[in-house]
Amino acid sequence: MPIRLAAAFLLAAASAFAGDPPKGPTEKEAKDRVEALKGAKDETSKKKAIADAAKCPSASVAEALGNITSADDWESPLRIAAAEALGEMKGLSDAAKALAKGITANEKNPDVLKAIFRAMGKVGSVTAVPALKDFASKRLPLKDEKASSDLVVASIDALVAITCKASVEALFALNKLMTETATFAKKANSLVSQKIETGLKALLPGLPKKFGGEEWIVWWDKNEATFNDDLTPKK
């Protein structure tokens, strides 16, 4: 084998073993998925279109799936499936945006809303953080035992799943809100506070063991600069 040809072969092999990042969908592939979603009429074709769309992470497909999560003419199980499909588009900010748009439309549809929050956590994009923080802060402190607690906890779980500085800041803000306004005698509020505490500990293992609110904020103010935006330590 000629030397140049051998060198080219070895270079190609090395690239393959290194694991080149997979290419995204083509414009035509994305267009086909969007058209399939729009053209689906019966439940079977809708399920198939959603499943196929999950494998095509792109802005246009994410938008189409997001529209389904808030569409009145799509039943809740299909809305949940659309949210789950968006959850497969890990790291895609357009998927996070599409999911965020479905929050308001499903405020009275808790099963779909929980699916949206789970999907936001799976996508893991910082783009979702403002919507999650806004949802929780508007409902805290909780005024009853059950009405909103499950949904608020689900939104906090999503924040914790998104490993970034913005999630930490959001959790500190929610903790401050709870400290200033909550009646901790209420079981639901205590549960939310515990969730926030557990979440902060998961995101920041170096936090002081004592949970004192202010003590943790002082620690974060002192140490924030030592972290990258994704909470990995700076070198």
Same domain, 67 and 160: no
**Looking at 54, 75, 107, which one is the last position of a domain?**
107
Indicate whether 3 pLDDT > 80: no
Mean pLDDT computed over 72-91:
97
More confident residue, 200 or 12: 200
Number of independent structural domains in the chain: 2
Mean pLDDT computed over 20-34:
83
Give the pLDDT band of residue 184 (cuts 50, 70, 90).
low
Indicate whether 9 pLDDT > 60: no
Same domain, 129 and 100: no
Same domain, 81 and 171: no
Tokens representing residue 63 in the block: 């938008």
Same domain, 94 and 137: no
Same domain, 183 and 218: yes
Give the pLDDT band of residue 17 (cuts 50, 70, 90).
very low
Same domain, 97 and 179: no
More confident residue, 9 or 50: 50
Residue 50 · residue 81 · CB < 8 Å = yes
User: Is 47 part of a structural domain of the chain?
Assistant: yes
Same domain, 161 and 234: yes
User: Is 222 part of a structural domain of the chain?
Assistant: yes
**Looking at 107, 137, 159, which one is the last position of a domain?**
107
User: Is 233 part of a structural domain of the chain?
Assistant: yes
Indicate whether 4 pLDDT > 60: no
Q: What range does the domain containing 93 cover?
A: 28-107
Indicate whether 20 pLDDT > 50: no
Mean pLDDT computed over 172-197:
82
Same domain, 155 and 89: no
Mean pLDDT computed over 21-48:
91
Burial class (CB in 10 A: 0-12, 13-18, 19+), 225: exposed
Neighbours of 120 (CB within 10 A): 31
pLDDT score, position 189: 80
Please state, rounded to an integer, the average pLDDT across all residues of the chain. Answer: 88
More confident residue, 30 or 178: 30
